[in-house]
Structure 1
Amino acid sequence: MMVSKSHITVQMTKNTCTLLLFVFVAVNPIFAQRNKGNVQQSLDWAASIVIDGKLDEWGDTLTYEHTTQKFRYHIKNDTENLYIAMRVLDKDRQMQIFAQGLACMVNIKGKKREGPTVYFPVADRLAFRSIMSADNDNRPDDMRKGALEAIRAIYVMRFEDILDGQISLENTYGVQAQATLDTADALCVEMAIPLNRLGVSVGDTGELAFNIKINGVIIPGSGSSASTMRRGYGYPYGYGYPYGYGQPTPSKPREEPGVWVVAPLAKE
């Protein structure tokens, strides 16, 4: 069968374009990193971020996604703080968050191991019951709004100069966190952690390991539980635990791993 010259020319053009695209990706590490699935590969520089639970400075949908736990996220930094934004649309996951919190952990040695961790938001159980009480004339129709009203603290662990446990939303450590429900009914959370509380600075060149996830273990001292928060919603047994009704409680509950980002701090 005879092949026309025009057909050969078109095929050669396609092959050339494919080759050029391959070469561009191979020699451009930034392009390659940012298109490795939908997981963040490097931190971005933060500009004028206000911790108010609104994602106006981030873009409404955020850039990256952790599909296992059904949330979107983005991590940035400036000279003073590490910033984390998360957005959760799934209602079941939202209730899990109000019971057990989102967790942001940083290992300053760049290892996928434990490090300083911030948990937020976790609704205070007693405050939540009071807000949702039938005797409360201002009781919100939406349980999630009641949970937002019942947030009283930020929980921290493994910081060098902060005792493990709860700290005030208006604390002297510089740790900030806020949560809101946006117009699309998604739960939006922003956190800021001072770099000096982590023992790092923007001039450091080494990699850090960041882990963010929906927490799957009850935080000691929080007074909240997954079953308490989901009561009346007909949800099954606690998230993150590999047992059900009629089965023995294991000595150590299974934790969902979350998403890891291993990268140095961004430079301006």
Structure 2
Amino acid sequence: MKWLFIILASLFAINTTYAQKLPNVQKASVWAPANIKIDGKADEWNDQYQAHNNATDIYYSISNDSENIYLILKITRAFVIDKIIKGNISLTINHTLKKKDDSPVTITYPVLKRADANSVSNLLNSKIGTHNDAAGVDNSLKGLNNLLSTKSKSINVQGIKNIPDDDISVYNDEGIKAVSKFDKPLVYVYELAVPLRYFDLPNNGLDAFSYHIKLNAEKESNNTNVEALVSPMNSGGLPPPPPPARASVATTDFWGEYTLAKNRDEWLKTYQSVIKNILQ
């Protein structure tokens, strides 16, 4: 057992060191990988992130290409994942560095109905051992992802004039893409892509702007009498998990600044053109 303890301690130390090396808020602009795909997997990022935010306990990267702004998150703590399932994540983009914007754009995902959120939450709690499995319930990663995919069908959009409906389908034709999945050993990966045209950034996006990432807790009205509202039928056949600790259901958030990254090849062409004009 001693060797097992040493291995676990070493793994914890490595993970802690990695988190400590990352800034609390992303510092650099990042051009998105050419092979980027919004599929709830971090393969194209090689599991590398630009920051680890202490307030929300998430790893994240914001990036862009000529068409979209992208957000990828990785959450490793089960209670934070559970909070996201019961609440959601909001990304707000402002036009300038000011935190108060007259017309910010906010994208919220995942958006689950109360019974659906409880169903996924209970299966997750079964997976981590908060309560016993129910007979015949598949709480494998595949089972979790199948249930999450079935229940999570909406994206909430605020502040985009061309999209009058607040809630749109994850299969929308507006170009907004959002997918989240569970991955080994038990982490939650979240990916979001939003077309740049919806943000109407001034100066063609050359100026820095502020963003706000918020992990929304379950509504206060939803935190009462959970046992009475969750039945075996809408919880995947599982008994409801024990009441969560207050810290695990509190809304957490942070602000950051970002400037659109430029494609290196396009920048080089512009630079060469400028030099050519100077020499002529």
TM-score, structure 1 as length reference:
0.68
Does the C-alpha gap of structure 1 residues 68 and 231 become closer, same or farther in structure 2, counting only changes over 3 Å?
A: farther
Identity %: 25
Per the alignment, residue 263 of structure 1 pairs with: 258
* CA separation of 1:231 and 1:39: change in aligned 2, threshold 3 A: farther
Change (3 A) 1:170 1:225: farther
Task: Name the structure 2 match of 1:124.
Answer: 113
Contact residue 182 and residue 188 of structure 1 kept, 8 A: yes
SS at match of 1:57: helix
How many residues are aligned here?
215
Equivalences for 1:41-80 in 2 at 5 Å? 41-48=27-34, 49-80=36-67
Structure with the larger helix share? 2
Which of structures 1 and 2 has the bigger CA Rg? 1
Tell me which residue corresponds to 1:28: none
AA aligned to 1:103 is S
How far residue 197 of structure 1 moved from its aligned partner, in angstroms, is 1.1
Unaligned runs of 5+ in 2: 1-20, 124-133, 264-280
TM-superposed deviation, 1:121: 1.5
Query: Measured at CA, do residues 231 and 212 of structure 1 come closer, stay the same or move farther in structure 2, by a change above 3 Å?
Result: farther
Task: Please say which of residues 177-186 and 157-166 is displaced more in the overlay.
Answer: 157-166
State the partner residue of 1:250: none
Q: What letter is aligned with 1:205?
A: L
Residue 124 of structure 1: CA displacement? 3.0
Any idea what the Cα deviations from partners look like across 1:16-36, whole Å, max 9, x if unmatched? xxxxxxxxxxxxxxxxxxx89
Residues in 1 aligned to 2:203 and 2:71: alpha-carbon distance in whole angstroms? 16
How much is the aligned-residue C-alpha RMSD, in angstroms?
3.4
- C-alpha distance in structure 1 between counterparts of 2:214 and 2:239, whole Å: 23
The one-letter code matched in structure 2 to 1:184 is P
TM-score normalised by L of structure 2: 0.65
Give, as a single letter, the amino acid of the residue that structure 2 aligns with 1:141.
N
Task: Judge conservation of contact 2:153–2:169 (CA < 8 Å) in 1.
Answer: yes
Quote how far apart the aligned CAs of 1:156 are: 1.4
Report the 3-state secondary structure (helix = DSSP H, G, I; strand = E; otherwise coil) of the residue aligned with 2:86: helix
